[in-house]
Amino acid sequence: MERRKFLTVGAAGLAAPLATPAIAQDIRQWKMVTAWPKNLPGPGVAAQMLADRITTLSGGRIEVKLFASGELVPGNGVFDAVSEGTAELYHAVPAYWGSKSKGILLFGSQPFGLRADEQVGWLAHGGGQALYDEMYGRFGIKPFLCGNSGPQWGGWFRTEINSAEDLKGLKFRTTGLASEMCARIGMASEAMSGPAMFQALQTGALDAGEFIGPWTDSALGYQQVAKNYYWPGVGEPSSAEECGVNAAAFEDLPDDLKQVVQLACESLYNAVWTEYTTKHAIALKKLVEEDGVQVRMFPQDVLDTMGAAAKEVIGELRENEDELVRRITESFVAYRDSVGGYMTYADNGQMNARADVFGY
């Protein structure tokens, strides 16, 4: 009788831990907020890929639920949401956070700056990641690059551009340091979301604007309201996508899960970049052949004028009152000069040679 009583009590005592094993108690349910509409081709797709990859690589120990722009916080509020702990993660681009510090802008894109491979090269091998961590640490965020759009385009223009003079007074959507470059040559730069840019072009509130490139841009319908599509996108030779993690939440992770978050971000960089490149090429062909888009190159005097303005923008960052901004800028410039000199012989040489071959 006593033995039966012991077994009954013992079974009841074991019931609770069997129903809720110790590993289940270690599951973290994280919210990811994004700057994008859900599953927007390009960044919206990449954000969901990142959420899924963290969940999978962690073996379900971190369950990431994605909230698209406006579902939990506005797209332009995701940085603050993670900084304040409302969400654990965000997916966006550094170009959106210039109001926090001008130094942040260099981690995403720079006028006449780094290509996608060079951008991640600077962070991984040129000292950029330590500076990235130091800057975002001011806001309680641990940052990682997790993708890149590759070269962005010069923009969609309602009218043809024949000279730098034609740009003066144009209302133009762009972001980051590109907006400062454009403002210096007389354009009225405005920051807004991709969907808002379509509406503004449609109503005439904007004369022109750039968002990303053919794949994402065509999904947003810009070809319906502006037919002149300009290249090269010297304002953003690449645009890095980032994952910002609440620093306290990140530090609370065991070492293996910290590596999971880092690896999930790093492993997506090339996958995202190459998907953009592949699908941009397909989308551009369709834009030209089916939608009547006119692909036009900026006149040389436009490029020269933009280049002079970009030099002024970077020059001011080198003299910024914030010592950290100055260090970030000098690190970027040094890496750009070093790798740029090499690319003259390497990638530039190969691309120029390949352009002269019209088929095998």
pLDDT of res. 187: 98
Residue 220 belongs to domain spanning: 155-237+292-352
CATH of residue 159's domain is 3.40.190.10
Instruction: Mark whether 167 and 99 lie in a shared domain.
Output: no
Q: Could you give the strand order of the β-sheet that contains 155-157, starting from the edge strand earlier in sequence?
A: 188-190, 171-173, 208-209, 155-157, 228-231, 294-297
Instruction: Mark whether 337 and 255 lie in a shared domain.
Output: no
By DSSP bridging, strand 141-148 and strand 240-246 are antiparallel
pLDDT band at 149, cuts 50/70/90?
A: very high
Is residue 287 assigned to a domain?
A: no
User: Distance of alpha carbon 225 from its chain centroid, rounded?
Assistant: 25
| Each residue's pLDDT tens digit, 92-117 | 999 999 999 999 999 999 999 999 99
| Contact yes or no for 307/113 (Cβ under 8 A) | no
Distance CA 75, CA 47 (A): 13
Cβ partners under 8 Å of residue 80, min gap 6: 73, 86
Residues of the binding site for substrate: 152, 173, 210, 236
The three-state (H, E, C) secondary structure of 78-112, written as one string: HHHHHHHCCCCEEEECHHHCCCCCHHHHCCCCCCC
Distance CA 234, CA 294 (A): 19
> Of 7-11, 181-185, 352-356, which gets the smallest average pLDDT?
7-11
Q: How far is CA 343 from CA 22, 182, 331, 352, in A?
A: 53, 27, 18, 12
Residues of the binding site: 152, 173, 210-211, 236
pLDDT of res. 25: 62
DSSP 8-state secondary structure symbol assigned to residue 244: E
Phi, psi (degrees; rounded to nearest 5) at 139: -110, 10
Portion of the chain with pLDDT greater than 90, in percent: 90
pLDDT of res. 83: 98
Instruction: Mark whether 272 and 340 lie in a shared domain.
Output: no
326, with CB counted inside 10 A (0-12, 13-18, 19+), is middle
Is residue 7 assigned to a domain?
A: no
> What is the domain count for the chain?
2
Instruction: Mark whether 243 and 339 lie in a shared domain.
Output: no
Is residue 135 assigned to a domain?
A: yes
Is residue 4 assigned to a domain?
A: no
Instruction: Mark whether 32 and 180 lie in a shared domain.
Output: no
Instruction: Mark whether 202 and 328 lie in a shared domain.
Output: yes
pLDDT band at 2, cuts 50/70/90?
A: very low
pLDDT band at 20, cuts 50/70/90?
A: very low
**Residues in the chain, total:** 360
Instruction: Mark whether 192 and 140 lie in a shared domain.
Output: no
Is residue 207 assigned to a domain?
A: yes
Instruction: Mark whether 231 and 113 lie in a shared domain.
Output: no
| pLDDT over 80 at 224, yes or no | yes
Q: What is the mean pLDDT of residues 316-325?
A: 98
Cβ partners under 8 Å of residue 276, min gap 6: 42, 148, 149, 150, 212, 213, 215
Which of 218, 250, 278 finishes a domain?
278
pLDDT of res. 177: 98
What is the pTM for the complete model shown?
Answer: 0.91
Residues of the binding site for Na(+): 211
Which of 278, 300, 334 finishes a domain?
278
| pLDDT over 60 at 6, yes or no | no
| Contact yes or no for 91/43 (Cβ under 8 A) | yes
CATH of residue 61's domain is 3.40.190.170
pLDDT of res. 279: 98
One-letter amino acid identity for 183?
A
Instruction: Mark whether 230 and 303 lie in a shared domain.
Output: yes
> Of 21-35, 44-58, 315-329, which gets the smallest average pLDDT?
21-35
pLDDT of res. 357: 77
Portion of the chain with pLDDT greater than 70, in percent: 93
Query: What would the two tokens of residue 264 be?
Result: 């999930």
User: Helical H runs in the chain?
Assistant: 2-19, 43-57, 78-84, 102-105, 116-125, 128-137, 176-184, 194-203, 214-220, 247-251, 255-291, 300-318, 323-343, 347-355
Distance CA 164, CA 157 (A): 14
Cβ partners under 8 Å of residue 129, min gap 6: 123
Is residue 260 assigned to a domain?
A: yes
Instruction: Mark whether 316 and 343 lie in a shared domain.
Output: yes
Instruction: Mark whether 160 and 182 lie in a shared domain.
Output: yes
Phi, psi (degrees; rounded to nearest 5) at 172: -135, 125
Which of 251, 278, 305 finishes a domain?
278
Distance CA 29, CA 236 (A): 35
Instruction: Mark whether 177 and 41 lie in a shared domain.
Output: no
Query: What would the two tokens of residue 88 be?
Result: 């654990």
pLDDT of res. 4: 34
Is residue 51 assigned to a domain?
A: yes
Question: Residue 310's CB: how many other CB atoms inside 10 A?
Answer: 23
- What is the overall mean pLDDT for the chain? 93
Is residue 313 assigned to a domain?
A: yes
pLDDT of res. 198: 98
Distance CA 214, CA 219 (A): 8
Q: How far is CA 35 from CA 70, 71, 198, 225, 274, in A?
A: 8, 10, 16, 23, 21
